């Protein structure tokens, strides 16, 4: 299994749909991403085509894929198909997932253990973040003659990469080569993805160049995994280089690559470039829409963000998710559109069944706070079904600082001190608020407290990039 790139031709016959496929170069992660994407976008027809290929290749019977497909059909409201698929899952491996321990007991009780069973167990362990246990099982199976293949090694590499364990990633690659298996595109992509997810952009670029030096051909998954590392002004030069490379190898029009490019340009403030790519896309997924709406909202183009949100509601309403509403609420907060923000907050729950998350509450507290509705903002915090985080309390404190509400500011500061005991930020804001009110005794008290707790203000800094 060498690549994420999947090219499928579909034609219709009298008997139904015939899938003509060439070079279905697959990986466990690649198929998982596709199924999750189709589930998120509720793309029923595309998901069925992929399901058909998984049946042809024999992968549909693996519990990992079966579970994803069940979630996909459920999300598309095809409950009959979901139940039908659930009933077909073999009992001996159906526990891989929520009943990982039971699955291991079944595995240990098998008279003849084969590679398919091993890979299912390894995937289950990695999915539940028991990567070292998965490695231990692989080592044990090698001793009794069950030799791991590239899928086994790639699953382990993906697990350790996501955990940020660079040492173990290197060890797995060494073991892989000792075992006579050379890392493929999926292996390198997993390492790159792990570095990016753990904010090690330089290592991700170094690994990408090393991959090219080995003569391997990057897939669309490789490019879309690398691009998030370029989503800052400091790394935009690298991002443009990757964009050019994606065009050169012919994957620039891939929906995941395009979405990653739009996200990169939008986060860097290059909204014209992001908008140009966005408008060229004939098919857009949830990530594509969200990236563009966030880009507008975070750079002050709030009316454009809300207009694009309305377009999404009109054209592709089924693709709205919790992040879509976070982006729209962010735009409302920046633009001071209180009534619209409150309507969206209720619409999200009542019409779309999306339960508010911490980020939604933070947006609403910020929105109400900027409008000087501080008591209403505090009441909303008190009514939250989960514990408020530092962003929620920080939004309230910032609003109190702006409007001079000392009483609520003191409450917010106490809560922030519990959440961030080593941070001086909230104490400094409180000291400034006391100073504005002429309460110098409290200013001295706060500063003495900061000295006693050894809280220090982080000095300001700036950066320049030199060639």
Average pLDDT estimate for 372-394 = 92
Average pLDDT estimate for 166-183 = 91
Sign of CA dihedral 41, 42, 46, 52: positive
Q: Tokens 């339960």: give the residue.
A: 355
pLDDT at 23: 35
pLDDT at 18: 34
The residue ranking higher by pLDDT, 154 or 458, is 154
Average pLDDT estimate for 332-359 = 94
356 close to 321: Cβ distance less than 8 angstroms: no
pLDDT at 112: 81
Has residue 337 got a pLDDT over 90?
Answer: yes
Q: Tokens 């203000």: give the residue.
A: 457
Backbone angles phi, psi at 413, to 5 degrees: -65, -45
Q: What is the pLDDT of residues 87-137, one digit of tens each?
A: 665 543 444 445 677 777 777 787 788 888 888 888 888 888 889 999 999
Q: What is the pLDDT of residues 17-42, one digit of tens each?
A: 333 333 334 445 667 777 877 777 77
Task: Grade residue 314 by pLDDT with cuts at 50, 70 and 90.
Answer: very high
pLDDT at 461: 54
The residue ranking higher by pLDDT, 38 or 425, is 38
Tell me which range, 20-29, 42-51, 54-63, 358-367, is most confidently predicted by mean pLDDT: 358-367
Residue 174 is encoded by which pair of tokens?
């060494």
Question: Using CA atoms, how far apart are residues 128 and 401, in angstroms rounded to an integer?
Answer: 43
Q: What is the pLDDT of residues 267-284, one digit of tens each?
A: 999 999 999 999 999 889
pLDDT at 80: 67
- When mean pLDDT is compared across 116-130, 158-172, 273-287, 321-335, the lowest value belongs to 116-130
In which region does residue 199 sit, left (phi positive, over 0), alpha (psi from -120 to 50) or beta (all else)? left
Has residue 142 got a pLDDT over 60?
Answer: yes
Q: Give the relative orientation of helices 166-178 and 185-197 as an angle to the nearest 10 degrees.
A: 170
Centre a 10 Å sphere on the Cβ of residue 11 and count the other Cβ atoms it contains.
8
Question: Using CA atoms, how far apart are residues 121 and 128, in angstroms rounded to an integer?
Answer: 11
Specify the fold of 356-456.
1.25.40
Task: Grade residue 86 by pLDDT with cuts at 50, 70 and 90.
Answer: low
2 close to 185: Cβ distance less than 8 angstroms: yes
Q: Tokens 């930020």: give the residue.
A: 425
pLDDT at 96: 41
Question: Using CA atoms, how far apart are residues 458 and 425, in angstroms rounded to an integer?
Answer: 9
Residue 1 is encoded by which pair of tokens?
């299994």
pTM: 0.69
pLDDT at 93: 43
The residue ranking higher by pLDDT, 173 or 39, is 173
- Strand 16-22 to strand 7-13: parallel, antiparallel, or no bridges (unpaired)? antiparallel
- When mean pLDDT is compared across 309-323, 380-394, 434-448, 450-464, the lowest value belongs to 450-464
Q: How far apart are the first and last CA of the chain?
A: 40
- What percentage of the chain has pLDDT greater than the value 70? 78
Range(s) for CATH 1.25.40.10 in the chain?
A: 356-456
Residue 117 is encoded by which pair of tokens?
């069973």
- When mean pLDDT is compared across 326-340, 342-356, 430-444, the lowest value belongs to 430-444
3-state SS of the chain?
CCCCCCEEEEEEECCEEEEEEECCCCCHHHHHHHHHHHHHHCCHHHHHHHHHHHHHHCCCCCHHHHHHHHHHHHHCCCHHHHHHHHHHCCCCCCCCCCCHHHHHHHHHCCCCCCHHHHHHHHHHHHHCCCHHHHHHHHHHHHHCCCCCCHHHHHHHHHHHHHCCCHHHHHHHHHHHHHCCCCCCHHHHHHHHHHHHHCCCHHHHHHHHHHHHHCCCCCCHHHHHHHHHHHCCHHHHHHHHHHHHHHHHHCCCCCHHHHHHHHHHHHHCCCHHHHHHHHHHCCCCCHHHHHHHHHHHHHCCCHHHHHHHHHHHHHHCHHHCCHHHHHHHHHHHHHHCCHHHHHHHHHHHHHCCCCCCCHHHHHHHHHHHHHCCCHHHHHHHHHCCCCCCCHHHHHHHHHHHHHHCCHHHHHHHHHHHHHHCCCCCHHHHHHHHHHHHCCCHHHHHHHHHHHHHCCCCCCCCCCCCCCC
pLDDT at 144: 86
Beta-bridged to residue 225, according to DSSP, are none
Tell me which range, 100-104, 106-110, 261-265, 392-396, is most confidently predicted by mean pLDDT: 261-265
Instruction: Work out the mean pLDDT of the chain and round it to a whole number.
Output: 81
pLDDT at 412: 86
pLDDT at 29: 60
- What percentage of the chain has pLDDT greater than the value 90? 44
379 close to 388: Cβ distance less than 8 angstroms: no
- When mean pLDDT is compared across 84-88, 195-199, 393-397, 415-419, the lowest value belongs to 84-88
- When mean pLDDT is compared across 12-16, 139-143, 330-334, the lowest value belongs to 12-16
Task: Grade residue 446 by pLDDT with cuts at 50, 70 and 90.
Answer: low
pLDDT at 98: 54
């Amino acid at each position: 299994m060498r690549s994420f790139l999947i090219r499928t031709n579909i034609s219709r016959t009298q008997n139904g749909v015939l899938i003509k496929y060439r070079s279905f170069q697959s990986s466990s992660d690649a198929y998982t991403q596709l199924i999750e994407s189709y589930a998120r976008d509720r793309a029923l027809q595309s998901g069925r085509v992929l399901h058909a290929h998984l049946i042809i290749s024999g992968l549909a019977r693996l519990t990992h894929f079966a579970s994803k497909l069940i979630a996909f059909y459920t999300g598309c409201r095809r409950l009959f198909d979901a139940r039908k698929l659930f009933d077909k899952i073999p009992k001996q491996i159906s526990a891989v997932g929520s009943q990982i321990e039971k699955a291991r007991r079944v595995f240990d009780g098998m008279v003849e253990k084969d590679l398919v069973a091993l890979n299912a167990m390894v995937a289950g362990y990695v999915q539940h973040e028991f990567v070292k246990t998965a490695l231990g099982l692989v080592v044990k199976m090698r001793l009794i003659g069950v030799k791991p293949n590239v899928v086994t090694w790639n699953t382990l590499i993906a697990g350790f990469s996501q955990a940020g364990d660079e040492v173990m990633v290197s060890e797995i690659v060494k073991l892989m080569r000792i075992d006579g298996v050379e890392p493929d595109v999926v292996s390198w992509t997993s390492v790159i993805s792990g570095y990016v997810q753990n904010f090690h952009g330089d290592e991700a670029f170094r690994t990408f160049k090393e991959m090219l030096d080995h003569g391997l051909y990057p897939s669309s998954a490789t490019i879309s995994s690398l691009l998030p590392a370029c989503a800052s002004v400091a790394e935009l030069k690298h991002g443009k280089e990757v964009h050019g490379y994606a065009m050169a190898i012919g994957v620039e029009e891939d929906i995941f690559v395009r979405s990653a490019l739009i996200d990169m340009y939008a986060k860097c403030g290059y909204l014209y470039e992001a908008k140009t790519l966005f408008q060229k896309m004939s098919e857009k997924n949830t990530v594509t829409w969200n990236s563009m709406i966030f880009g507008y909202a975070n750079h002050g183009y709030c009316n454009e963000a809300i207009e694009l949100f309305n377009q999404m509601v009109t054209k592709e309403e089924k693709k709205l998710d919790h992040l879509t509403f976070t982006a729209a609420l962010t735009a409302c907060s920046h633009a001071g559109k209180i009534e619209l923000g409150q309507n969206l907050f209720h619409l999200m729950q009542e019409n779309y069944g999306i339960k508010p998350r911490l980020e939604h509450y933070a947006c609403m507290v910020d929105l109400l706070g900027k409008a000087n509705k501080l008591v209403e903002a505090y009441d909303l915090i008190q009514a939250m079904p989960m514990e408020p985080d530092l962003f929620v309390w920080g939004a309230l404190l910032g609003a109190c600082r702006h409007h001079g509400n000392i009483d609520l500011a003191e409450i917010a500061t106490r809560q922030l001190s519990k959440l961030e005991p080593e941070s001086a930020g909230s104490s400094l804001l409180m000291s400034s608020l006391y100073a504005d009110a002429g309460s110098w005794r409290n200013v001295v008290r706060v500063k003495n407290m900061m000295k006693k707790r050894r809280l220090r203000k982080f000095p300001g800094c700036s950066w320049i990039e030199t060639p």
